[in-house]
Amino acid sequence: MKQRNSLSAVLAVAIAAVITAGTALAATQTGASTATDANTRASRPKLDVNNDGVVDRNEAAASPRLAAKFDQLDSNKDGKLDRSERPHHGGKGRGHGGGMSGLINSDTDGDGRVSKTEASSMPWLARSFDQIDGNRDGYVVRSELRSYHEKMRPQREAERAKQAEERFADADLNHDGKLSKLEVSEKMPQLSKGFAFMDEDRDGYLTRADLQHSPRH
């Protein structure tokens, strides 16, 4: 009987040791996973540099993948990406919330059109709803959105050109018609990382043409 009790005690100690080791390993793995997630988040650049709630073309240049898709994501073609137009990471099947997918998601009753109430889920659409609603029936459909974008295209392009020229002139500190790496780092820091990529002729300067032909200035 005494031998059986001793054996039971040994088994109990062994089981406790296994449980303790397993708990410690799980805690270590959880900690490592949390640290990895934190490092991943920290490595993502902050795009909204001026904290105005939107990401313009200059700010988007800090993320090559976002810059490459800027025009596709900029569903209202205003040269900026608001929260509803930017990609959201971390959820399976989650879209960027803008453009056609955003319009479809806003159509909560599934009738193929978006009412003014439904448009409230897309700030850019809510702001321009009355202008987009061409027949004034209180709903927006795809063809009206397309017509609105086409009608506004010349105005948007003129505004973008004006803004780009103003930014360029402000950054051109010595007024020589081109931007050195120092001028870019001081006045357009969000473009600094992409300087060499945009300076295709490797002359050490960015001209207006270089910025126009970059992944969208």
Q: Which residues are CB-contacts of 80 (< 8 A; sequence separation ≥ 6)?
A: 54, 55, 56, 74
Amino acid (one-letter) located at 88: H
End-to-end Cα, the chain, rounded Å: 85
C-alpha distances (whole Å) from 141 to each of 3, 66, 72, 105, 164 are 84, 27, 19, 13, 32
Q: Is the pLDDT of residue 136 over 90?
A: yes
Q: Which residue has the tokens 């850019």?
A: 124
Kindly report the number of other CB atoms within 10 A of residue 192's CB atom.
Answer: 15
Residues facing residue 115 across a β-bridge: 139
Q: Measured between alpha carbons, how far is 178 from 204 in angstroms, rounded to an integer? A: 10
pLDDT tens-digit map of 155-175:
888 888 898 899 899 999 999
The pTM is what?
0.42
The DSSP secondary-structure symbol of 206 reads E
Residues facing residue 55 across a β-bridge: 81
Query: Which residues of the chain form beta strands (DSSP E)?
Result: 55-56, 80-81, 114-115, 139-140, 179-180, 205-206
The DSSP secondary-structure symbol of 121 reads G
More confident: 201 or 84: 201
Q: Is the pLDDT of residue 139 over 70?
A: yes
> For the chain, how many helices (H) and strands (E)?
10, 6
pLDDT tens-digit map of 9-67:
544 444 444 444 444 444 444 444 444 444 444 445 578 777 777 888 888 888 877 88
* Percentage of the residues of the chain whose pLDDT score is greater than 70: 70
pLDDT tens-digit map of 57-115:
888 888 877 887 888 788 777 888 877 677 654 433 333 344 566 777 888 888 889 99
Q: Which residues are CB-contacts of 53 (< 8 A; sequence separation ≥ 6)?
A: 82, 83
Positive or negative, the CA dihedral 55, 56, 62, 65 is positive
SS3 category, 38: helix
C-alpha distances (whole Å) from 173 to each of 43, 55, 80, 183 are 31, 25, 26, 7
Instruction: Please give the radius of gyration of the chain, using alpha carbons only, rounded to the nearest integer.
Output: 27
* In the chain, domain spans: 1-43, 55-212
